[in-house]
Amino acid sequence: MGRYLAVLAVANLMWEFAQMPLYTLWSTGSATDIAIAAVHCAGTDVLIGGVALIGALLMFGNADWPNTRFTRVAIFAVAAGLAYTVMSERLNTARNAWSYAALMPILPGLGTGLTPLAQWLVVPLLGFAAAHPPSAGPKRTTEVTQGIVLPTRAITTSGSTPDHLAR
C-alpha cells in the first residue's frame, strides 16, 4: 500500500502541473496560485486513491493482498476513482470552483475533461504496477554437483512423461 500511495503522490503532482494549462487558472492565476492548486489537487487525488483502495480491500481483498486478489482490488479501486472523478468534475465545473480552458478536450455526454479521466486511469495503474509483487515465475533452486553449485529450474508439466524421456 505504501508503494501505491507513494506513486500516486508523485505521479499525481506531476500530472496536475502538466495539465494545468488546460484550466483557466493557468491564464488567470499567479504562479503561487497555480502551485497551491496543483499541490492541493494532488493531495486530494492521493486521498481519493487511498480511500478507493481501502474500500476495494474491504470489499474484495484478504490478508494476503497484494499476493492474491490483486486484479479484483485494482479494478474496483480504479473504477471508484473514475466514478468519483466524473462526479467531482461535473459538480465543481457547474459550481465554478474551477473551469476548463478552451484547450481541454471535453467528453461528450459526460461534460467532463478528458485529462482528469485519463489521470484516473494512468496514475492508479502505475501505482498498482508498483504495488504488485514480483512474478513468482519458475521456482529457482540450486543443486550441488561435485562441489559446484549449479542453478536449476523446477519445471512442472501436465500429463505423463514419455517413456524415452523417463529413462
Contact criterion met (CB below 8 Å) for 67 and 133: yes
Total domains in the chain come to 1
CA angle 149/150/155 to nearest 5° reads 140
pLDDT confidence of residue 135: 63
> Distance between CA atoms of 75 and 49, rounded to whole angstroms?
12
**137 burial class (0-12, 13-18, 19+ CB within 10 angstroms)?**
exposed
Chain segment 30-70, per-residue pLDDT in tens: 999 999 999 999 999 999 999 999 999 999 999 988 889 99
Q: Residue 151: what pLDDT?
A: 53
Q: Has residue 26 been placed in a domain? A: yes
**C-alpha grid cell for residue 129?**
504496477
Q: Is residue 143 part of a domain?
A: no
Residue with cell 517413456: 163
Q: How far apart are CA 161 and CA 89, in angstroms?
A: 60
Q: Is the pLDDT of residue 89 over 90?
A: yes
HSE on the CB side for 116, CA within 13 Å? 30
Please indicate whether residue 139 or residue 105 has the higher confidence score (pLDDT): 105
- Are 69 and 79 a contacting pair, CB within 8 Å? no
Are 15 and 120 within 8 A, CB to CB? no
Q: Considering the entire predicted model, what is its pTM? A: 0.76
- On whether residue 151 sits in a domain, the answer given is no
Q: Which domain holds residue 124?
A: 2-131
Decide if 153 is inside a domain: no
The pLDDT-based confidence of 105 (bands split at 50, 70, 90) is: very high
Q: Is residue 64 part of a domain?
A: yes
pLDDT at 134: 76
In a domain, 36, yes or no: yes
Q: CA nearest 20: which of 136, 112, 98?
A: 98
Mean pLDDT of 67-94: 94
Condensed to tens digits (0 to 9), the pLDDT of residues 119-163 reads: 999 999 999 999 987 764 445 444 555 555 545 554 445 455 444
